[in-house]
Amino acid sequence: MLTLVLLTMLSQGQDTTECKTNVFCELVPDGWECQIIKENFSEDDIPKHTPTPEAIVKYYHPNREFENMNSIGQERVNPSLILNLYPISRKNELSRFIKSQQYLSHCIPVYYGETADYFIITSPCFKNKGVYAEEANSAIADLYKALDCVVVKRKYHLNEHLKFEKY
């Protein structure tokens, strides 16, 4: 009986934030790697001028590549995506913030979607390192499909100014 009481107390003490964020890695398709970061964030993983998130989810596919032509020449790039998670209670504040930032730079914050617990922000720079060619979009399509199982994309009209694929 004492064991049951102790187990119940321990299970109630589990980090609910961890349980809520784990779903983002549990759904990844085969071949994708997922990392959840909850502290010591790199500023390179947060869109410019954006508040510090509660967690960052980074996706990377090490066995898939697409070509990208940049100023140096042609390079092979692995598909990747970075999502910044904020408490859903900050949705209105963050929506206003996104609208205020929409014309500032290429690495602007954009609305990705939301769950019951999180308002999710990303950046055009955080999807496939900013590459939006057909081959790059195809390389990440299975991850997007998996994320659609848990992330709802509402029509807040926050990304209308973007000239490329909608998030």
Summarised one tens digit per residue, pLDDT across range 19-55 is: 788 999 999 999 999 999 999 999 999 998 899 999 9
Distance between CA atoms of 156 and 134, rounded to whole angstroms?
26
Report yes or no: 131 and 77 within 8 Å, Cβ to Cβ.
yes
- What is the band of 91 on the pLDDT scale with cuts at 50, 70, 90? very high
**Residue 106 pLDDT grade (very low, low, confident, very high; cuts 50, 70, 90):** confident
The pLDDT value given to residue 126: 96
Q: What percent of the chain has pLDDT over 70?
A: 82
Task: Say what the pLDDT of residue 163 is.
Answer: 52
Split at pLDDT 50, 70, 90, the class of 166 is very low
Assess contact for 64 and 34: CB atoms under 8 A.
Answer: no
Nearest 5°: phi and psi at 143? -70, -45
Helix (H) / strand (E) element for 85: namely: strand 80-87
Which tokens hold the place of 131? 């590459």
Q: What is the pLDDT at residue 136?
A: 94
Residue 144 main-chain phi, psi, to 5 deg:
-60, -40
In this structure, the number of other CB atoms found within 10 A of the CB of residue 115 comes to 16
Within the chain, residue ranges assigned H as helices are: 2-12, 16-26, 91-101, 134-147
pLDDT at 167: 41
Higher pLDDT residue, 71 or 86? 86
Euclidean distance between CA atoms 137 and 66, whole angstroms: 9
Q: How many percent of the chain have pLDDT more than 90?
A: 64
Instruction: List the beta bridge partners of residue 127.
Output: 81
Average pLDDT for 141-156? 93
Region of 129 on the Ramachandran plot (φ > 0 left; ψ -120 to 50 alpha; else beta): left
Which one, of 58, 66, 65, lies nearest residue 33 by Cα?
A: 58
162 pLDDT band, cuts 50/70/90, is low
Rounding to the nearest 10 degrees, give the CA dihedral for residues 43, 166, 116, 141. Answer: -90
**Confidence at 161, pLDDT banded by 50, 70, 90:** low
Amino acid at 158: L
70 vs 42, residue with greater confidence = 42
